[in-house]
Every structure is written in structure tokens, then in C-alpha cells.
Structure 1
Amino acid sequence: MEFDGEFELEEVPPEKAWIVLSDPVAVRNSLKGCTYITPMDDDFSFDDYEADEDLETLPEADAEDVAERAFVEGKEYAALMQVGVGSVKPRFETSVMIQERDEEDFTMTATGSGTASGSSFSMNSGMQIYPLEDGEGSRIEWWTEADISGRIAQLGSRVIEPVANKIVGNFFSDIEQQMTDVDEETDSGITDRIRGML
């Protein structure tokens, strides 16, 4: 299954959009049903890990904290999501590897795989942020290719696609609000400092 799209932020420059989309906590907060996105190692356990739910994001968060937890190229992350699909509400245990993270082109790509309710899936996804030609804003293009097998796949694309589209729509609506808040309330010097630390 393939999903892709784009959206524009009239007033948010690419540098500030990039900071928000580089923060696993900001991404988690915008993904409905996502409990956490956290670095994982060989000993990581989805059953035992307890997420810290009270972490601040920009504009309230400390710049050093945001830079320290930002996505890192070549690093693997655990993501736990619970989403209703048809009559089931599977618990998606996912590992995600950041394949590419290019701060000059504002490009990030990732691969992932996981299991949920007798099903398995794999995915490739990415995004790129472009400056708007006629203003200070940004245009964000994103894409995902997903291969699903097992019980969830049996529901068919007629059931899965509307759920996926709703999650994506809600995510970008929420992340846009976070980016707007950062742009309006965060000094450019702070976001420049964070970019320098990434």
C-alpha cells in the first residue's frame, strides 16, 4: 500500500518545521494512539518500557533537551501505537531505523517493521521540506510504502486506507499547530542554536 501527500505552512520557515519534525516527542504527541517513540537497544522490551508522558516540546522545552533527543541517522527507535482498524484495535510494536537525515536538504527517510494482533508489516517512509517560492513558509512532501500481512491485511484496503488517511490527516493538522506555536513563540536564535547542536 502506498500513501503520499503534501501540505503547506504559510508562515513557518523550513528551519523551524525541521526542528519540530526532528523531535520524537513532538511526533509522538501528534500521532493519535502513539504511546512512545524512543531509542532502542538489544535489551529493549515493549512490555517493560514505561514512557515519560510529561516531556515538554518547543516552545516550552529546553533547547538542549530537544537537540539531545532529536532523531539520529542510523539509529533505531521503538514506537508503540494502538489504533482501531475495523473491529479490532491492534497494538503495533514497531522498530524504526532512521536511514537518512540531511539537514541541508531537510530530508529524512526511515524504514520500519513490526507486529500487531497476529499480523506483521514493513514500511519505507520519508519526507522533505521545501521553502515556499512566494513567502516565508514551507511545503512538506511525505510518502510511505507499507506491506501488511496477516489478520489486519485480511480486512483489505477498503478498511485500512481510511484509517491510515485519518491518522495522517490528524498528524499533520496537529504538527502544523505545533510548528505555528514554535514559529510564533520561539526566538530564531533558539532554533538556530538547536540546529547547530543537531
Structure 2
Amino acid sequence: MKLQDSVTLPCDRATAWAALNDPDVLRRCIPGCEVLEQDAPDHLRAKVVLKVGPIKARFAGDVTLTDITPPQSYVLTGEGKGGVAGFAKGSARVWLDEVAPQETVLNYDASADVGGKLAQLGSRLLDSTAQKLVRQFFDSFRACVSQTDADAVAAKP
């Protein structure tokens, strides 16, 4: 499965970068995320509950950041296991383009694979669910980096 798009954010690039690297912000924005902990500068652990069609599962996984170029881009690679439901793994290149003082475009190019019961659901259901989850994430992320919340993100130590 491939996902590629860009989203305009109402903040400068530094604020967007800070939010993209803040586990608390990401935990609030990722649909179904119960836990997101950073245990190294380039590694996060997560627990996420997802419902895809008739299958609901809790996934535990790891995310690794590579090719980090602050405040511009990184590549993230992750894998999660959902027990009987199966597994998901993928990677995404994420980069930021500041187009105006308070406007940044977040670009992403991602691919993902699933296995187990999830893979049996069919690509149309998986694709539509992935698109829905991506929209939910970016709607929440946009709200987090809006001018109201941007000061709180930027002020975090």
C-alpha cells in the first residue's frame, strides 16, 4: 500500500518540526494511540488500538528515525504486531517546506505492508481505512500546531 500527499500547516517550519518530534503531540494525534514513548533520540515504542473492518486489535510496535536533517526531514520505519490480527510494517519519508512565515507544507511518501488476518480483508478496505486514519492524524496535527497551540509546543524543553 502506498500513501503520498502533502498537508499545509498553519505554523512555521520550526514549530512543525518540534511537533513532529514531540511524543506527547504525536500520541494525541495518532488515532487509537494509547502509548508513545521515546526511549532514544531516534527510537519510539508505541501501542495503538485499530479497527479495520471487523477486526479490532492492539498493536505494539517500534519506530526508528533515520536520515534526520533538522528542521527539514527524516525517514521513519516501523513495525507493529497485533497478535492474531497480524502485523503491519512500513516506512515514510517526511519533509517540511516553509512557504510563508506562518505556513509550512508537510510532505510524506509512505508505504506499508500488512499480514495475517488484516491481509485477508482486501486492499480496498485497507486502503480506505488507511486514508481515513491519515486524514484523522493530519486534522489533529494541524490543530496541534495551530497558532494557539504552537506556543506551547515551541516552549517545551
TM-score past 0.5 threshold = yes
Aligned residue runs from structure 1 range 24-173, under 5 A: 24-40=23-39, 72=41, 75-104=42-71, 106-118=72-84, 119-132=86-99, 136-173=102-139
Gaps of 5+ in 2: none
CA distance in 2, matches of 1:83, 1:144: 19
Larger Rg: 1
Indicate the SS of the match to 2:55: coil
How far off is 1:12 after superposition?
A: 1.1
For residues 114-134 of structure 1, the C-alpha deviation after alignment (integer angstroms, 9 at most, x for no partner) is 2114312221112111011x5
Instruction: Note if contact 2:60-2:82 (Cα within 8 Å) is conserved in structure 1.
Output: yes
What amino acid maps onto 1:77 in structure 2? L
Instruction: Note if contact 1:16-1:182 (Cα within 8 Å) is conserved in structure 2.
Output: no
**Residues 1:5 and 2:42 are matched in the alignment:** no
State the aligned residue count: 155
TM-score calculated relative to the size of structure 2: 0.88
Identify if the C-alpha distance between structure 1 residues 121 and 32 changes in structure 2 by more than 3 Å, giving closer, same or farther.
closer
Instruction: Note if contact 2:11-2:101 (Cα within 8 Å) is conserved in structure 1.
Output: no
Give the 4+ runs in structure 1 shifted more than 4 A. Answer: none
Gaps of 5+ in 1: 41-70
